[in-house]
Each structure stands twice: as structure tokens, then as C-alpha cells.
């Protein structure tokens, strides 16, 4: 069993594997480490990764890319509309409001969602890993941008499930980079004086900056900032510039011709990369750009910097925001590490130096450290691989609040449960006094890069009054899980029985009495807080929960993030010191939830669809292999029979008959035999073998024992 880490980039993906000898980035079927995030379709099969990107110009309508930033979103989301303006594929709104890429696949118009397309890419990465490692691959850690909200994270997990991957953790990209930095550092300081390192990742679609505190054997993310700026934005600025120039000079409007525009973007990306290394004037030439006209121009780095000044300004603002949010002074920052393709632009490095007062450090592998960090995390979490422990405490970027509906004459209320940059994973218990089923809504409590702040609504069922008709305590656990997903993970009714004798027995049994309750055994570590706002009659209380056992996280237990959030009070279960002893039992309450992601039946359906497509691709590969095998045999045999080593082992007339048959077969392969099923090719090859194998056998026999043949010749 192997464990892998996947960096799912907007432009390309990397996969790293944890092996006995260390972490290795895996090469794909083209011996490349980067697999383009491209999926294409044709009448017979899917084409994914390098091959898909390679055929984009000739199959534009059916080649899809740029779907990472659409995950978990609806078609009419303004962000989606912006993204779609630069996507050449046809995309429609589906009846349920979701996004559908319309492609022609298996000679039919078909729609695929961003989640399905991501799953297809994951299928490819899974195959790459299985081939490279010669082992079954299921467990993985997948990375996502730190700014991804609940819906996007859930969509990514759904995509992984569709592809049959078991995600041990969805990890923030900069956290993965931080782990790949910290894991091998032997000189990290002791707890009292952490080393704070800023990580800057600017890729194809976004910029992320995070600051992380390292101490011996662990890391703790402190704050993150981001903006939707990546390499493609620089490409677009340059494309605008050259499209205008070519229109002015040649009267060619590239914007009306998607293929020409795509070629322009390709050449611009090359030019942009050259400009990162070279400050002199550099040429751009495109032959037969449009109407058979060749176009050419040039650009110097300074000009690119002027054209992109507004982008650099935003990069600078993002750096400044991180500094402010982290509340660190420049002296507190040890170094600034850069990763991601776009940090190769010199102006970005200059901005780093300007804002942080330190040169950008490039000690990490700029392209592979995200996947390597993910693989390390997977190894740490998986029982299949033995690796040194390294504690990772991540953060959840956005403030979260919970509200609940009223009951009878009592009003509903709301409470802030997590401030921004709260450590994750983490759980908080809310205690409400209720006597009827009720619902709770979890939502983001600040501006987020997603149109709908609501995370989900949980309906807590089976709540009823106690024997005396009074309210009962309901404990609701609000949780940021190890994927950075916020949810209500459980609700339990506190069943209190006042009974002198029951105490011992009930206490002994109570830890296991509430299935799904992961606070068991940690009673002494509970922290509790009286809520300050809303719902007075319901007496809402908050408690932070120890996450140690559940999430293998060593540092969250007593660090609930926001200051003043919790104060230590009595334990979770009532103690036996009171005069009247109380026995407390937690009864898990059933819940229904409306939150992001596919429903279970829909997901099952998508899993099946993906399996069918995988099977179809495999069949197609076998078919093409069978055709190639037949074609190869035809050529090989003809060469051997006509002036080749087999010529002398067959009678002239037989040879001519076979060769004419081979010629016919060759013609057939290029005409009506071009598109047959696998068995047709296999049977034709069998037929050929039955005629040619005896000739080969004669040749073999002779070569092994020529003397015997000589004797035979004599006797004739
Ligand atoms: P994202 O992280 O946004 O999802 P990604 O991980 O796929 O995307 P990367 O592989 O980190 O992105 O970076 C790709 C981007 O980096 C492309 O836009 C590419 O043009 C740009 N890039 C790569 N090399 C250079 C260079 N030498 N100079 C400027 N830009 C570069
Ligand atoms: Mg990236």
C-alpha cells in the first residue's frame, strides 16, 4: 500500500509518494512530473493530462481546463461568470443551477460538472501513481487553496470519492509547503521562541501568503492572505496588449478567433517566462497567425512591469495584509520562502524584499513542494508508512457563527463559535436547553470569497422534555474537521438522573454511552464559556474540545485561537463530590442536514459513471493496442519475407500469396478496418500467425540445428 500527496493546480498537478527512502515526485506517462489539469473528449475516449493539452488546438471545443476555481459553485455565481469569460469550451447552466461543461464524447453531447472533471484528472493521477509505484494506491492527501470555503472543499472531496481516492486530509497548499520546509529542518527552536516563516505561493490562478510558526517537531499556521492573481492574469494583460497591436498593425482581430487567441496566449506564456530570466528586449513571432499572415513584435521586462502595475499593486497589498493580520513585526519574521511558477517573476521577488525587508528565499523546490508536503502529511497519518512525527496545526481562515430557531415564546439566538484564523481541527460544544426538535444554521460570519455565507442547516431531532416536562440540556458539537470543513458533527441529549446509587455504575458506563462523541476520556481538558449574546432563556454555553485523540493533532488542545474564548472550568461530566450524586448519560440525537456537496445517491451514481468511463477508456486502449499490434506485425512480416531473413524458408508462390494478403491487410487497416473492435484485430492477427508461424518455426529449427537440414538436403 502506497501513500501519495496530490497538488491539484489550476494549470498542472504534481503527485509525490512517500517511500522508504523518502519523498519522490512521480513521473507520468510522458516522463514528466507536471500533469496539465486538462481533460479532453473524443468519439472513443477521454484524453487526460499531457495528451489532452497537446491536442487542445485541434480539439478546442472538447478540451476542458480551468475548472479548479469552479468547484462547488453555481453557474450564476459572479465569480463563475468571470471565469467562464476566458474558458473556450461551451458551458451551460444545468437545471439545478450547477455548471455543465458541454462536450462531444462518444459521439454524443454530454455535460460534465467541474467535480466530475476533477475526478477524471484524479483518475489519471491515480493511474500514474499505480504505474510508477507498481502498487495499489488509495490513501492520499490532496491540497487546496487556503481560501477555499466549505462548498469548494466538499466539492473536492466529492471529486476524490468519485475517483475512488481515500482522502486522509484536505490540506491547505501553503501548509503543505510549510510541512515540506519544516520536516527536514534539524535546527528548529524550542517552544518558547518559534521561527516564523512566510510562504508565498503564486501559481496560475491565485496568490497565497501564509505565515507559519515552527518549533521542534511541529508547525502552527498563524495567518493567511490571498488574492485572485496568478500567472494567467499576467498572460491576459500581455494578450490584450499584443492583440491590440496586431489589430492596429495587421488589422487582425485575434479576439474573434479562439484558435488564434489560444496560440497567442501560448506564445505569450513563453515570452513571459523568458522575460523572468532576461531583461533585454525579446521577440514574439507567430507564423500564419490569422489569414495566413505572420505576425511579430517584441517586449522588454520593464514594459511588462508597467502594463501589469495594477497586478503588482495587489500583490503588494496582499503581503501587507498578511503582515497586519499576523500581528508580527518584521523582526519576528525569520525568512520568506517562495513557491509556485509565478514567483519566478523578478518584480514579485522585489516586492517581497520591499515589504518584508528580506530577500525571497528559494530553498524549496518551487514546483514540487506542495505535493511533497502533502505526501509527508499522508505518510504521517497513514499506518502503512513509518515516518517521524511532525505536528501540524492548521488554521481555518474565516469567522464562523451558529444560530438557532426559537421555541414557543422563546426567541432564537446566535453565537460566534470560531474567529478568523482559528486553529484546526477543533471542536466546540454548545449547550442549549430545549424540549423540542430544533434547527441550527452554521454560517460564515465575515466576507468570504463565495456568494453564500451559509455552510449548512442541521435539524436536531428527537428532543423532548424530561419526565417533569422541563427543558433538557442538548450538547451540540460544532467542528472544523481536518479537511477545514465546518460542520455540526454530533448532538446529544444530556440525560441527568438524580440518584445516590446510580453514580458509580453510570459513570463507569457513560464514556461509551454516546456514540460519535469524541470527547470521551478528555473530561479534564474541557473548557467552557458562557455565551455572551443571544438565547438567554436557553442558557447557551460553549466549550472547546480536545482534538488530540481524533485528529492526531498535538497542539490544538489548549489553544483555542481567539483570546478570551475560553476559561477553564469544571469537567464535562458531573463529579461525585456533590451531596446528591448525579448520573449523566449522553444520548446521541439523530440529525438531518442540508449542506454542500452531492447527496449520497447522486455521488454513488457519479462513482458508477466514472467507473464506466474508466472501463471504456481501458477497452479503447486495448482496442488501439490490438490494432497497433496487427499493423506492426504486417510491416514486420513483410520486411522479413521480402528480402529479409524469412525469405528462404518459404516457397515462392506461398510467399507471394502471403505478401499480397499483407498488402490487403494494410489497406484494410487504413480504410474500413480503421475503427473495428478489439476482437476483429485480434482474430486477424491470429489468422496471420497461423500462416506465418510455420515459416518462423522452420527458420528457427534451421538456425538451431543447421546440420540436420544439410543431411536432409543431401538425402533429397
Ligand atoms: P494554482 O496554484 O493557481 O492552482 P498551479 O499550481 O497550476 O496553479 P504553478 O504550476 O505553480 O500553478 O504555476 C504556473 C504558472 O506559473 C503559470 O501561469 C506559468 O506561466 C507561470 N510561470 C512558470 N514559470 C514562470 C517563469 N519563469 N516566469 C513567469 N511565470 C512563470
Ligand atoms: Mg499551485
**193-235: pLDDT as tens digits:** 999 999 999 999 999 999 999 999 999 999 999 999 999 999 9
Q: Which of 372, 409, 376 is nearest to 391 (CA)?
A: 376
Beta pairing, strands 195-202 & 333-339: parallel
Dihedrals φ, ψ of 234, to 5°?
-70, -40
What CATH number should be reported for the domain holding residue 582?
2.60.34.10
Cα 640 versus chain centre, distance: 51
Query: Quick one: 610 and 657 in the same domain?
Result: yes
Residues 6+ apart with CB under 8 A from 240: none
Instruction: Give the H or E element holding residue 297.
Output: strand 293-299
Please check the confidence at residue 410 and state whether its pLDDT lies above 80: yes
Residues present in the chain in total: 716
pLDDT tens per residue, range 424-479: 999 999 999 999 999 999 999 999 999 999 999 999 999 999 999 999 999 999 99
Query: Quick one: 411 and 480 in the same domain?
Result: yes
Query: Quick one: 358 and 493 in the same domain?
Result: no
Query: Quick one: 566 and 651 in the same domain?
Result: no
3-state secondary structure 317-332: HHHHHHHHHHCCCHHH
Query: Quick one: 257 and 388 in the same domain?
Result: no
Query: Quick one: 57 and 72 in the same domain?
Result: yes
Number of folded domains in the chain? 4
Which one is predicted more confidently, 632 or 564? 632
Query: Quick one: 211 and 258 in the same domain?
Result: no
Our answer to whether residue 594 is catalytic in this structure is no
Please check the confidence at residue 706 and state whether its pLDDT lies above 80: no
Identify whether the C-beta of residue 209 lies closer than 8 Å to the C-beta of residue 198. yes
Supply the pLDDT for residue 515: 30
Q: What is the ipTM of this complex?
A: 0.99
Please check the confidence at residue 578 and state whether its pLDDT lies above 70: no
The residue nearest atom 30 of ligand 1, judged by CA position, is 342
What is the full DSSP assignment across 600-645? Answer: HHHHHHHHHHHHHHHHHHHHHHHHHHHHHHHHHHHHHHHHHHSSST
Query: Quick one: 357 and 413 in the same domain?
Result: no
36 lines ligand 1 (CB under 6 A): no
Query: What average pLDDT does this structure show over 629-654?
Result: 92
Q: Which of 265, 28, 262, 249 is nearest to 127 (CA)?
A: 28
Query: Quick one: 27 and 69 in the same domain?
Result: yes
Please check the confidence at residue 563 and state whether its pLDDT lies above 70: no
Report long-range pairs for 327-331 (Cβ below 8 Å, ≥24 apart). 328/196, 328/211, 328/222, 330/356, 330/357
12 lines ligand 1 (CB under 6 A): yes
The residue nearest atom 9 of ligand 1, judged by CA position, is 203
Query: Quick one: 74 and 122 in the same domain?
Result: yes
Query: Quick one: 138 and 19 in the same domain?
Result: yes
Supply the pLDDT for residue 712: 55
What is the chain's Cα-based Rg? 32
Please check the confidence at residue 500 and state whether its pLDDT lies above 60: no
120 C-alpha to center of ligand 2: Å? 19
- End-of-domain residue from the set 392, 407, 433: 392
Supply the pLDDT for residue 118: 98
204 lines ligand 1 (CB under 6 A): yes
The residue nearest atom 16 of ligand 1, judged by CA position, is 341
Query: Quick one: 170 and 282 in the same domain?
Result: no
Query: What average pLDDT does this structure show over 248-274?
Result: 96
Which one is predicted more confidently, 488 or 707? 488
Atom of ligand 1 minimally distant from the CA of 173: 2
Supply the pLDDT for residue 70: 98
Domain extent, residue 510, equals: 398-596
Please check the confidence at residue 407 and state whether its pLDDT lies above 90: no
Please check the confidence at residue 532 and state whether its pLDDT lies above 60: no
State the chain's mean pLDDT as an integer.
88
pLDDT tens per residue, range 358-393: 999 999 999 999 999 999 999 999 988 889 999 999
Going along 513-581, which residue ranges are E strands? 527-530, 541-545, 567-568
- End-of-domain residue from the set 392, 411, 443: 392
What CATH number should be reported for the domain holding residue 623?
1.20.1270.10
The single residue of 11, 45, 53, 68 carrying the catalytic annotation is: 68
- End-of-domain residue from the set 310, 342, 357: 310
Segment among 496-500, 516-520, 564-568 with least mean pLDDT:
564-568
Our answer to whether residue 68 is catalytic in this structure is yes
Cα 260 versus chain centre, distance: 31
113 lines ligand 1 (CB under 6 A): no
Please check the confidence at residue 558 and state whether its pLDDT lies above 70: no
Supply the pLDDT for residue 547: 52
Segment among 95-99, 515-519, 651-655 with least mean pLDDT:
515-519
Instruction: Give the H or E element holding residue 418.
Output: strand 413-418
The residue nearest atom 26 of ligand 1, judged by CA position, is 273
Atom of ligand 1 minimally distant from the CA of 275: 28
457 lines ligand 1 (CB under 6 A): no
Atom of ligand 1 minimally distant from the CA of 340: 11
Supply the pLDDT for residue 207: 98
The single residue of 115, 152, 173, 547 carrying the catalytic annotation is: 173
What CATH number should be reported for the domain holding residue 289?
3.90.640.10
Buried b (16+ CB within 10 A) or exposed e, 346-373: ebbbebbeebbeeebbeebbbbbbbbbb
What CATH number should be reported for the domain holding residue 157?
3.30.420.40
Our answer to whether residue 201 is catalytic in this structure is yes
Amino acid at each position: 500500500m502506497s501513500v501519495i500527496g496530490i497538488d491539484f493546480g489550476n494549470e498542472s498537478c504534481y503527485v509525490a509518494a512517500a517511500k522508504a527512502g523518502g519523498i519522490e515526485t512521480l513521473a507520468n506517462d510522458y516522463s514528466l512530473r507536471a500533469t496539465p489539469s486538462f481533460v479532453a473528449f473524443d468519439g472513443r475516449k477521454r484524453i487526460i493530462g499531457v495528451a489532452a493539452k497537446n491536442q487542445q488546438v485541434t480539439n478546442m471545443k472538447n478540451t476542458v481546463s480551468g475548472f479548479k476555481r469552479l468547484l462547488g459553485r453555481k453557474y450564476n455565481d459572479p465569480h463563475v461568470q468571470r471565469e467562464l469569460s476566458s474558458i473556450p469550451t461551451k458551458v451551460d447552466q444545468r437545471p439545478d443551477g450547477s455548471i455543465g461543461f458541454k462536450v462531444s464524447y462518444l459521439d454524443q453531447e454530454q455535460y460534465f460538472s467541474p467535480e466530475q472533471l476533477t475526478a477524471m484528472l484524479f483518475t489519471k493521477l491515480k493511474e500514474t501513481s499505480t504505474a510508477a509505484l507498481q502498487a495499489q494506491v488509495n490513501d492520499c492527501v490532496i491540497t487546496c487553496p487556503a481560501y477555499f470555503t466549505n462548498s469548494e472543499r466538499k466539492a473536492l472531496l466529492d471529486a476524490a470519492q468519485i475517483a475512488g481516492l481515500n482522502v486522509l486530509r484536505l490540506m491547505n497548499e501553503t501548509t503543505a509547503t510549510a510541512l515540506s520546509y519544516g520536516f527536514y529542518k534539524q535546527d528548529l527552536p524550542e517552544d518558547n521562541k518559534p521561527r516564523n516563516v512566510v510562504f508565498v505561493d503564486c501559481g496560475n490562478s491565485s496568490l497565497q501568503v501564509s505565515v507559519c510558526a515552527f518549533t521542534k517537531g511541529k508547525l502552527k499556521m498563524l495567518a493567511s492572505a490571498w488574492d485572485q492573481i496568478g500567472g494567467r492574469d499576467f498572460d491576459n494583460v500581455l494578450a490584450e496588449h499584443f492583440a491590440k497591436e496586431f489589430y492596429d498593425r495587421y488589422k487582425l482581430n485575434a479576439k474573434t478567433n479562439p484558435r488564434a487567441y489560444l496560440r497567442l496566449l501560448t506564445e505569450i506564456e513563453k515570452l513571459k517566462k523568458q522575460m523572468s530570466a532576461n531583461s533585454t528586449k525579446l521577440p514574439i513571432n507567430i507564423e500564419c497567425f490569422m489569414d495566413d499572415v505572420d505576425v511579430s513584435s517584441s517586449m522588454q521586462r520593464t514594459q511588462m512591469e508597467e502594463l501589469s502595475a495594477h497586478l503588482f499593486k495587489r500583490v503588494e497589498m496582499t503581503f501587507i495584509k498578511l503582515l497586519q493580520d499576523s500581528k508580527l513585526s518584521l523582526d519576528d519574521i525569520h525568512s520568506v520562502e517562495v513557491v509556485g511558477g509565478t514567483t519566478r517573476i523578478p518584480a514579485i521577488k522585489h516586492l517581497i524584499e520591499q515589504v518584508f525587508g528580506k530577500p525571497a528565499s528559494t530553498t524549496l523546490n518551487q514546483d514540487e513542494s506542495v505535493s511533497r508536503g502533502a505526501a509527508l502529511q499522508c505518510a504521517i497519518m497513514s499506518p502503512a508508512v513509518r515516518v517521524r512525527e511532525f505536528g501540524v496545526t492548521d488554521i481555518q481562515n474565516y469567522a464562523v457563527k451558529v444560530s438557532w430557531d426559537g421555541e414557543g415564546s422563546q426567541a432564537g439566538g446566535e453565537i460566534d463559535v470560531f474567529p478568523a484564523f482559528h486553529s484546526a481541527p477543533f471542536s466546540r460544544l454548545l449547550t442549549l436547553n430545549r424540549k423540542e426538535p430544533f434547527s441550527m444554521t452554521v454560517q460564515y460570519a465575515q466576507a468570504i470569497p463565495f456568494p453564500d455565507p451559509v455552510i449548512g442547516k442541521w435539524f436536531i431531532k428527537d428532543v423532548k422534555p424530561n419526565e417533569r416536562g422541563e427543558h433538557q440540556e442538548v450538547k451540540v458539537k460544532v467542528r472544523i474537521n481536518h479537511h477545514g470543513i465546518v460542520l455540526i458533527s454530533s448532538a446529544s441529549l444530556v440525560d441527568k438522573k438524580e440518584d445516590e446509587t446510580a453514580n458509580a455504575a453510570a459513570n463507569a458506563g457513560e464514556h461509551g454511552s454516546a456514540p460519535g462523541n469524541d470527547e470521551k476520556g478528555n473530561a479534564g481538558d474541557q473548557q467552557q464559556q458562557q455565551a455572551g449574546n443571544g438565547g438567554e432563556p436557553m442558557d447557551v454555553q460553549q466549550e472547546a474540545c480536545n482534538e488530540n485523540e481524533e485528529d492526531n493533532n498535538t497542539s490544538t488542545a489548549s489553544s483555542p485561537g481567539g483570546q478570551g474564548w475560553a476559561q477553564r472550568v469544571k469537567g464535562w461530566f458531573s463529579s461525585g463530590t456533590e451531596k446528591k450524586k448525579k448520573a449523566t448519560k449522553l444520548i446521541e440525537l439523530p440529525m438531518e442536514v442540508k449542506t454542500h456537496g452531492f447527496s449520497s445517491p447522486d455521488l454513488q451514481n457519479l462513482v458508477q459513471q466514472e467507473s464506466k468511463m474508466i472501463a471504456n477508456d481501458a477497452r479503447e486502449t486495448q482496442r488501439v493496442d490490438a490494432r497497433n499490434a496487427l499493423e506492426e506485425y504486417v510491416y514486420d512480416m513483410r520486411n522479413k519475407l521480402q528480402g529479409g531473413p524469412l525469405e528462404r524458408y518459404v516457397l515462392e508462390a506461398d510467399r507471394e500469396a502471403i505478401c499480397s494478403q499483407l498488402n490487403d491487410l494494410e489497406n484494410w487497416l487504413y480504410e474500413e478496418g480503421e475503427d473495428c473492435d478489439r476482437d476483429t484485430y485480434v482474430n486477424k492477427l491470429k489468422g496471420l500467425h497461423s500462416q506465418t508461424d510455420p515459416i518462423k518455426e522452420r527458420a528457427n529449427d534451421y538456425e538451431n540445428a543447421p546440420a540436420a537440414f544439410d543431411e536432409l538436403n543431401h538425402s533429397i
